[in-house]
Structure formats: structure tokens, C-alpha cells
Chain A
């Protein structure tokens, strides 16, 4: 899986002055998305098997993946290709800026590709139409089967150049696929590319599985499985398929997450009606108890520097969010609004904690600062929970259940994403019903 990309940087950041160049403001909801033209990549006629449609159309396919990525951000408005005035190969050499200005494009992506001896060579450029300038030019060489990932990496490079933020397109989402009646639900672990493509099922559905979470540093996943009717936290290597139970606990372990360095799993262990938080070091297998309280302590999540843990507890009587130092000291409640608060998860940037709030029969996904101030509710619905951060900390993915009737008919469970500004709420299409999403880190760092 770990395929090597050869990245040749032609002119990286040729123009370092930002003042005359386009910038996309992502600090507020973008009501005026940037018009961008994504020209189909020109396929070099010297390519092997050029006469095959698969080869001929690859340039179109790659540009449509890039386009779909941009559209999903809500920050860009990819223009209709019918209006494009220049042939892809000509535009890639040097666009006629005035022509692209005519169709209101502010940025233009051009590129070309060549397939020779089982190698795919792709080159692309990003142009600033208003300033008549090239902003980036990059080339990649990889195997032809990797074309989707190249499309995502190109999307990330352009997004980074235009927004100043790290991209998140070359990522995957692991989730729980759901089928069957509500009272006899079949759940499987599933994984897909961030744009909904390449869905793969990782378990067969013989036992209940819940809450998969990515290791931020590699391709390991931790999740809860009811294998042999013993609910325990498991570790799964999604490349080898090898899985193992985490620790040797005499009762249910659940709510697992990795530490930011990927070396520990933090989780809850329930015994005799009391759930507390524990960690296990994956190398030494050392188990450490972090909380010791007669109330329910669960849903732990580390701060990105690993120094703090946020979790939810009902020690005050009702479910609320707390933070503490990673050794369990200095416990402090941070949620004080009206209602219940659960599933806190620390942003990879460290500034915000996302959560689920239950108030007045409604479920909200929200964010607050790690001291509890600045609470903002992003979306309200009958039932939704379990936010997970995009690796750049700009978006949350969560799941939402809907029903068409009070009798429970028309039940669906779907993944949704929303920008932390509260804008651009959209469904992530999945093959089946879906819940418990977890977003991976960037695959190519």
C-alpha cells in the first residue's frame, strides 16, 4: 500500500508574494466561492495503448475528481467545461488569460499525462488568471492504477496554495456500514476514500462492531467488536487484516482512541457498573488507570500535544464534558450550557473541542474552546452524533439518523460533513447506511 510517489518540483512557489495573488478566505463561511476552471488533463498521444478509451479518458477522469473535491469544499465553484475556450495542451503551455477571464475564471488548473512502461507521469499547473501568472507547477510519477490518489494529491496542492491551509483530499474515512432492520441491524467495518470512492468492507458482519478510529500515524484502526459476545477493544491493521484484542480486561472495554503519537490506546473499561478511563501502551502493553470515580467516565480524546485528555462524565449528575492532564490529575468541567454534552474530540489544531449536545429533544454538533468558552452549535437535528475532525481541523464528519415516521419507518443513517464555520453541510454518499465515521490523516505526508 505504501507506494512511493516521485515528486519533481518544477517551480514550487515561484511567486512568494501573496499580495497580488488570489487567496481564498476560509475564516468565514464562504458565500462567494472562487470560480475555478479545471481543464481536462491532456493525454499524450505517445502513451502506451493510446487508442484505448481507458487511456484517452484518463485526463477527463482525473480532472473530474479534482473538480468534485473542489466543489465539496464550498469554497470553490468549478466552472462548466462547455465554456472552456482553449484546448488542454495549449492552455497547459500558456493560457490566454483574457479568454479565461471572459468566462469569469479566477484560477485555472491545467495538466498533461503520459503512460509509458507501466508508469504514469502527470504534470499540472495552477494559474492565477487575474494576475496572468503561474502559481504552482508539479509533476508526479506513479503506477497508472494510482491515478485517483494523484488526483487527490493535486487537489491538496491546489487547495493548500489557494487557502494557506493543509489539504485533506488524499485521505480515507473508516465507518460502520449498516444494513437490515433496526432491531436486527448488521454492522460491518467499511473504509472509503474521502470522496466516497473505493469502498471496502473489512469485517463480514458476523458480530456487532462499533466506533472504529484511525491511528493518526499509520494504517492501524482501533474499534469495538462483540466477537464471541465479549465486547472488547480491538486493534486492526487494515493492510494485513491482522487483528488482536487490546489488553486483557475481565469486562467490557469500549470507546477507544489512539494517542496523537499513535503509541497508546485510550479507552473505557466497565466493571461492576462503573466505567473508568484507561490507557494501554501498544509497545510495552502496560495498562494504566487514568480516572477513578464512581460515575460513568467515557469517550476520552487526547489533545494533539498529548498533554491533556477530554472526556465525558456524569459525575455532576448528568453527562458533561471535562478535561484533565494526561495522568488523570486536574480534572475540570468545561461544559456548562443547558443540556447534556458528550463525545468530546479534540481538534488536530488543538484550539477546539467538538462535541454532541442533547437539549430539548434535539441533537447538536458543536465546537467550544478547550476552556469551555466560545461554544458554537453548528447543526441541529433529531438525532446525530460522533463528530470526527478532518486532518486539517477545518471540517467535521458525523452521522445522522432520520426517520420518516414516528413508528420508526423510513429509517436511515448517513454520514454528513460540515465546515467549522457552520456552512457547507453535506451528505457523504455511502453504499449502505453508515455511522461512526473516523477521518484518517493525510496518506502522503
Chain B
């Protein structure tokens, strides 16, 4: 009986440890990727099926799988339209200091640019500008709005 109790206690400890570590792992994935916006509410199209923007995680400039897919489509659209030039506009959300956001948004737009370059688009056709957090698309103060604002938008230039 006593032995059983001990086992039981041990089990409870084990289970709670597992629950804790699961919890920590869950949190990690939230910070890592899952605050990247995946919807299309704010997205515009450069051509049929070619989204104009990619989204980023908080304080990050890494491209997600979905972003790389969008950029590959942009690259093939640019290859088809050889006289087109674009500017990549980098943006951040309102939850950071202004100057850091300027740098971070520049880094985001350049991450998109680098990917377009690897798909054969000439650097001469792509310019980059950072707006930091100065031009939100959604001015609400919610995680959704912030995720929509952390973006690099590809804009046609004349």
C-alpha cells in the first residue's frame, strides 16, 4: 500500500514535469513562428495569384515557408514582365522603439530582396525602403493588427 502511494506520488511528479516541459515547448513555438500573419485580409495582388506582401514574426526578419512561396511567385511574375521594377517597403509593428523598427524593417525588406535575387531577378530592378512602424495598415492595438503590420510589401514602380 505504502509502496503504491510512493509510486503514485512519483507518477504525479513525472506527469507534472512532462506537462511543464510541454508547456515550455508550446510557448517557444508561439515566439518562434506562430505570430506570423497567415491570413489574406490586408493582402493585395500584383497579378492573378501573386500576393504583394510577406509577413514576419515579432522582432524577426526570417522568411517563412509561405513567404518564400509568395516571393517565388513574385519572381516568376517579374521574369514575365521584364520592364517592371519594384520597390520593397519594409514595415514593423508599434510594439518596438522607432529607430530599432527602422533598422528591422530595412532588414525585412532586404530578406525579401535577397530571395528575389536568388530567383534570378536583377538587383537593378529592386529598390528597398524602410518605413519602420510609420505606416501601419491596421491601427488597432491587437496581436492580429501587429502581425498584419510586420510586413514587406512589393510595389510596382513606374
The residues of A with any CB-CB pair to B shorter than 8 Å are 181-183, 185, 208, 210-211, 224, 229, 231, 251-252, 254-255, 268, 270, 272-275, 296, 298-299, 312, 314, 318-319, 340, 342-343, 356, 358, 361, 382-383, 385-386, 401, 403, 406-408, 411, 436
A356 near B103 (CB under 8 angstroms)? no
On chain A, the residues within 8 Å of B98 by CB distance are: 210-211, 385-386, 436
Q: Which of B101-158 contact A (CB under 8 A)?
A: 102-104, 106-107, 109-111, 113-114, 128-132, 134-142, 145
The 10 closest A-B CB pairs, nearest first, are A273-B110, A182-B139, A408-B139, A342-B97, A275-B103, A255-B99, A296-B103, A408-B140, A273-B107, A270-B106
Looking at the assembled complex, report how far the CB atom of A325 sits from the nearest CB atom of chain B, in whole angstroms: 22
A296 near B130 (CB under 8 angstroms)? no
Asked whether B96 is an interface residue with its Cβ less than 8 Å from the other chain, the reply is yes
Residue in chain B with minimal CB distance to A402: B141
A210 near B134 (CB under 8 angstroms)? yes
The residues of B with any CB-CB pair to A shorter than 8 Å are 59, 61, 94-100, 102-104, 106-107, 109-111, 113-114, 128-132, 134-142, 145
Known: A183-B139, A273-B113, A299-B99. 20 other contacts (CB 8 A): A210-B98, A211-B98, A231-B102, A231-B130, A251-B106, A252-B129, A254-B99, A268-B99, A270-B130, A273-B109, A273-B111, A273-B114, A298-B103, A299-B97, A314-B100, A319-B96, A319-B100, A342-B96, A358-B96, A382-B141
B59 near A407 (CB under 8 angstroms)? no
Task: Give A358 to B101 CA distance when docked, in angstroms.
Answer: 13
| Partner of B107 from A210, A255, A274, A340 at Cβ < 8 Å | A274
15 residue pairs of the A-B complex, CB under 8 angstroms, read A251-B106, A252-B130, A255-B102, A273-B61, A299-B100, A312-B100, A314-B59, A319-B96, A340-B59, A361-B95, A383-B94, A383-B95, A385-B97, A408-B138, A408-B141
B110 near A406 (CB under 8 angstroms)? no
Task: Give A252 to B137 CA distance when docked, in angstroms.
Answer: 22
Task: Give A249 to B112 CA distance when docked, in angstroms.
Answer: 22
Given contacts A182-B136, A231-B130, A406-B140, contact A252 B106 (CB under 8 A): yes
Residue in chain A with minimal CB distance to B145: A408
On chain B, the residues within 8 Å of A211 by CB distance are: 98-99
Task: Give A299 to B142 CA distance when docked, in angstroms.
Answer: 27
Residue in chain A with minimal CB distance to B108: A273
On chain B, the residues within 8 Å of A407 by CB distance are: 140, 142
Task: Give A343 to B129 CA distance when docked, in angstroms.
Answer: 22
On chain B, the residues within 8 Å of A342 by CB distance are: 96-97, 99-100
On chain A, the residues within 8 Å of B102 by CB distance are: 210, 224, 231, 252, 254-255, 268, 270, 298
Task: Give A275 to B96 CA distance when docked, in angstroms.
Answer: 16
Given contacts A182-B139, A252-B130, contact A356 B106 (CB under 8 A): no
Residue in chain A with minimal CB distance to B135: A183
Residue in chain A with minimal CB distance to B90: A273
| Partner of A356 from B97, B114, B128, B141 at Cβ < 8 Å | B97
On chain A, the residues within 8 Å of B95 by CB distance are: 358, 361, 383
| Partner of A268 from B96, B103, B135, B145 at Cβ < 8 Å | B103
Looking at the assembled complex, report how far the CB atom of B85 sits from the nearest CB atom of chain A, in whole angstroms: 14
